[in-house]
Amino acid sequence: MDMIELTEQGFVVEAQELAAGFGLEPGRVPELMRDNRITTRCETGEGEDAGRHRLTFFYDGRALRLTVDDAGTILSRARFDIPARGQAAG
């Protein structure tokens, strides 16, 4: 899927997209989200980034970041490790 659906309630990302990013079976994604084991942050661009949104999903010490435009087209994907909460980056 190269598109993210934008609704009045927010963005809708297919489970397959998250599963591929985290190396999971797609069927596990809804349960992990319900249990708050996959969490997300949405940021809206301003200034020169207006019209873009950054959707970052967090799971098991890793992050998947999708940058999308106002039409929901995925412009970029990035995966990276994140430090555990309370652990200093360094």
**Domain ranges in the chain?**
5-81
Q: Single out the residue of 38, 71, 67, 69 nearest to residue 55, CA to CA.
A: 67
Closest CA to 55 of 9, 24, 10, 7: 10
Per residue in 44-90, pLDDT tens? 999 999 999 999 999 999 999 999 999 999 999 999 999 877 766 55
Please state which CATH number belongs to domain 5-81: 3.30.505
The label of the residue with tokens 């998947």 reads: 64
Confidence of residue 1 (pLDDT cuts 50, 70, 90): very low
Distance CA 58, CA 62 (A): 6
Neighbour tally for 72: CB within 10 Å: 17
